[in-house]
Structure 1
Amino acid sequence: MPKKLDWIVSGWALLAGVLTLLIVLATTINTAAFGADKIARLFGANVAGLAGYEDFVRLTISAVALMFFPYCQRRKGHVAVDLFADHFSVQIQQILEKIILVLTILLALFLAYWMSLGMISAYQDFASSPILGWPNWPFYIPGILSLVLWALVAAMQLREKRTSE
């Protein structure tokens, strides 16, 4: 695996982690505001939650959800079913792994294609979040890039399999 690709994939996962922490922070603040509001109502006051919290979380999660996939593929941390494959010969296991890598590449590119069409549709429809009014289409970009990176990592792993034989 090229070091530059490994660096990009690791940085991408780190960015996803930072965004996940922002989601947790926003959720914590909003939950604390909800609790504080319950107490404040006893005294005739109120405490508002974060305006647009749902919009922020929904849009950010839509970006973050796929950002971990390339890193997971790089580290081979994906779900693997080894219960029955362990009983096969090494040659059959290698063939199965190649088939799975090819299918992973095809799946990731297929999803990237359809996500691109979804992004174009969201852009053309001027789709936006209901509270904050943020346009939805830019939040497709991290997902599309993640799917392309995922396919690229799987392709590099497939290439490594071929060159190591």
Structure 2
Amino acid sequence: MQGIALLGGVLLITLSATVVTSVTLRSDLVGSAGVPGDFELVQMATAMAAFCFLPWCQLRRGNIFVDTFTLKLSERWQRRIDATWDIVYALVMALIAWRLAVGARAAFGTGETSMVLLVPTYLPIGLCAGLAMLVSVTAVVSARRLLRTAP
């Protein structure tokens, strides 16, 4: 999981360098056309990077949570509530993964590509579908850890 998150970080760093290069090339100093398809790269890479970070974040319990109403409950009940929300998160991410997979299949079937770079759009969509399913599985693992570990 940590490797996938690091891959997302490398993807964002590379994307940042591409954007800086493109903006610099478009400046008055250089006057060039910039990096072709930079906006397409930003769209695809940002989505993939976000999905790369989510499984590691879930395993580390790094997601934002609000515990205003549960602070006075016992730790056992807090863990049960957190595990329930992890399962809800897993179900939502499974739904997202399913719909992304349907979208990737449709894009593959029609041969859809991006406008400038002509990248087949099913590739990033399918990758995000797989990563979303990984998030779903990770959320289930996280819920099981909460329920199995004694407070």
How far did residue 156 of structure 1 move?
Answer: 1.6
In structure 1, runs of 5+ residues without a counterpart are 1-8, 41-45
Normalised by the length of structure 2, the TM-score is 0.90
2:16 paired residue number = 24
2:93 paired residue number = 108
Q: State whether residues 12 and 68 of structure 1, in contact with CA within 8 Å, keep that contact through their aligned partners in structure 2.
A: yes
Q: Which has the higher helix share?
A: 1
Report the identity percentage. Answer: 22
1:157 aligned residue (135, 142, 149)? 142
| 1:86 partner SS | coil
Normalised by the length of structure 1, the TM-score is 0.83
| 1:81 partner SS | coil
How far did residue 20 of structure 1 move?
Answer: 0.4
Q: Is the radius of gyration larger for structure 1 or structure 2? A: 1
Write out per-residue CA displacement over residues 134-156 of structure 1, whole angstroms, 9 at most, x where no aligned residue: 11000013212221221222222
2:115 aligned residue (124, 127, 130)? 130
Alpha-carbon separation, structure 2, partners of 1:52 and 1:83: 46
Write out per-residue CA displacement over residues 98-121 of structure 1, whole angstroms, 9 at most, x where no aligned residue: 211111111111111111111111
1:69 paired residue number = 54
In structure 2, runs of 5+ residues without a counterpart are none
Write out per-residue CA displacement over residues 27-58 of structure 1, whole angstroms, 9 at most, x where no aligned residue: 000111122xx235xxxxx4221112112222
* Segments ≥4 residues shifted beyond 4 Å: none
Q: State whether residues 83 and 143 of structure 2, in contact with CA within 8 Å, keep that contact through their aligned partners in structure 1.
A: yes
How far did residue 60 of structure 1 move?
Answer: 1.6
Alpha-carbon separation, structure 2, partners of 1:127 and 1:65: 23
- How many residue pairs were aligned? 150
- Are residues 1:33 and 2:4 paired? no
| 1:47 partner SS | coil
Q: State whether residues 80 and 147 of structure 2, in contact with CA within 8 Å, keep that contact through their aligned partners in structure 1.
A: no
| 2:79 partner SS | helix
Q: CA RMSD in A?
A: 1.6
